[in-house]
Structure 1
Amino acid sequence: MNTIPTPLFDFHAHTTASDGTLTPTELVTLAKQLGLIAMAITDHDTIAGLPDGSAKAKEFGIYFLHGVELNTDASGVEVDILGYFVDIEDPTFINMVEYRQGERIRRATEMVSKLIELGFNITYERVREIAGGVIARPHIAQALIENGYASSQKDAYARLIGFGAPAYAKRDPLKPEVAIKHIKSAGGVPIIAHPGLIGDDSIVHDLLNQGAEGLEAYYAYHTKEQQDKYLAIANDYNVIVSCGSDYHGPNRNKNKMLGSVVTPIQVMETLVDKVQEAWHTYKIKAVK
């Protein structure tokens, strides 16, 4: 007896617009090759890759959600907030992500300076060349690898530029509840990314009470126990769930393949319904 293949979709992936290794066009092309029917590009603190990604997805007939991943800080704990179907022409949202990009430059400059003080022969100019777009820690890690100072991104983070390491620099303290408000104000739906990586479920509960509208329960690096726990929490709060591989492309620390998180089709349908409802409400308010 033949079985119908489970439709594949992925709502968490990165491109060269932030710290991925594939361009938006290349990522969407890969999605087509893998048979995905829907996807989102969720680059860190930037929406620069969305126009190219959207155009290529339209060409291939892939349902495409505008996305972004805002990196935030909750009392010293890193918390990422995914935003889906934000208005990429909203001036307030554009100003916010442009400020965030400036802060990434400040942070990268600080980390490179610390590395130079520690005796490592790398330059900020080379890090910018590697990045191409928004600068992120993987680009600094790549510069270290090129010069033989680290064997991998994981090694670079553990010894040099990860949290608590000698050349680590703090992110600017965007609060997750503020990120949630920014996403909603731009017509998007805010989802707590990979809640199992936060390490403190009290933060998850607090953000759900402060307006987060879902959890990324189906996540490539969650255990089955974590997945089930966050599905139950989402059910308790009557919020939606999302799914994502957090694919960054070849030669990145997070390398689970795009579309590798096989998820019930209802997850996609519910997310799409939610973002369309939010967008409809946003456009009505914009007219008034």
Structure 2
Amino acid sequence: MTSILNADLHCHSVVSDGTLTPEDLAARAKANGVELWALTDHDEIGGQHRAAAAARAQGMAYLTGTEISVTFADTTVHIVGLGFDPDDAQLAQGLAATRGGRGERAQEMAAQLAQVGIKGAYEGALQFVGNPALISRTHFARFLVETGVCKDTSEVFRRFLTEGKPGYVPHRWASLGDAVRWITQAGGMAVIAHPARYKFSANEEFALFSEFKQHGGRAVEVVTGSHSAAEYVTYADMAQEFGLAASRGSDFHSPDESHTDLGTLPLLPGALTPVWELLSDRILR
């Protein structure tokens, strides 16, 4: 397997904040030419056996996946885990603890929205939730669009739910070291997800990559749905500077909301080591 492989190693199902089932995602990925797929639900591995079975039914190779929320430099950063044992008890326990605060946070978000005249947001958001333990800003955003408060989710995040706006409640996630350790002890590989999204200063970003590598992190998403062509180049250089493998993933959530569909990204630059080469013995076929 080489960098010319159409691998999509970042997407979300109804088990977290996507709108499609693992089975429908597998079918969509296959139809779009994906050869190696991973489902990476937020802080959750409950859909892994379904996703692996669906990939096998479609004739697609599969890597187990998750996306763990961590707090680094007072910012929420996402760490993707790939190729781990989906039945690992320590990983499952860590993710359950990370999910634990979402319910209280959601109630606080709804209370803030009520103060600006938007009633019933918690109950409304729950209508869009596939897994009540994983209620998130995305579900509130879908409620605000459905009820006509905003015309689309982009407007939601301009007006609400982000720092300094009504409905924003920070959540204390796992530490970077915890997330990398849970993944690696379960036999997987940790990947920094969409690094351009965090808007870190150069020093903060250097600290993230350095600490991530010290904890045993092995890869970074270079080609991803939220990166520009210029950012592909930036993070290809960062991967080489830090000796990290490169990953590729659309971060697909929904046919109606996601700008990048499964399997439609450019291929990884050829000079990089694809993360799937390091995980070849963990690929399910």
User: Structures share a fold, TM > 0.5?
Assistant: yes
* Other-structure match for 1:193: 193
* Other-structure match for 1:76: 74
Quote the offset at 1:10 in angstroms.
Answer: 0.6
Q: 3-state DSSP class of the match of 2:100? A: helix
2:39 corresponds to 1:34: no
Residues 11, 42 of structure 1: 8 Å contact kept:
yes
* Other-structure match for 2:214: 209
Quote the offset at 1:129 in angstroms.
Answer: 2.2
Residues 144, 150 of structure 1: 8 Å contact kept:
yes
Q: Which whole-Å CA distance do the structure 2 matches of 1:64 and 1:267 have between them?
A: 24
Structure with more relative contact order (C-alpha pairs < 8 Å, separation 6 or more): 2
Quote the offset at 1:7 in angstroms.
Answer: 4.5
Aligned length: 273
* Other-structure match for 2:225: 220
Q: Which whole-Å CA distance do the structure 2 matches of 1:123 and 1:157 have between them?
A: 15
Unpaired runs of at least 5, structure 1: 1-5, 281-288
* Other-structure match for 2:154: 154
Q: Which whole-Å CA distance do the structure 2 matches of 1:75 and 1:84 have between them?
A: 24
Provide closer, same or farther for how the CA distance between residues 50 and 99 of structure 1 changes in structure 2, counting only shifts above 3 A.
same
Q: Which has the higher helix share?
A: 1
Provide closer, same or farther for how the CA distance between residues 208 and 68 of structure 1 changes in structure 2, counting only shifts above 3 A.
same
Across the aligned residues of Structure 1 and Structure 2, the Cα RMSD in angstroms comes to 2.2
249, 262, 267: which one aligns with 2:266: 262
- Structure 2-normalised TM-score? 0.88
27, 52, 55: which one aligns with 1:54: 52
Residues 220, 260 of structure 1: 8 Å contact kept:
no
Q: Which whole-Å CA distance do the structure 2 matches of 1:33 and 1:144 have between them?
A: 32
Provide closer, same or farther for how the CA distance between residues 148 and 65 of structure 1 changes in structure 2, counting only shifts above 3 A.
same
Q: Which whole-Å CA distance do the structure 1 matches of 2:273 and 2:57 have between them?
A: 21
- Could you list the per-position Cα deviations for residues 236-283 of structure 1 after superposition, in whole angstroms to 9, with x for gaps in the alignment? 22221001111111222x321111112149799842332246x69xxx
- Structure 1-normalised TM-score? 0.87
Q: Which whole-Å CA distance do the structure 2 matches of 1:193 and 1:41 have between them?
A: 14
Mapping for residues 162-173 of structure 1, pairs under 5 Å: 162-173=162-173
Instruction: Report the identity percentage.
Output: 28
Unpaired runs of at least 5, structure 2: none
Q: Which whole-Å CA distance do the structure 1 matches of 2:38 and 2:147 have between them?
A: 34
Q: 3-state DSSP class of the match of 1:131? A: coil
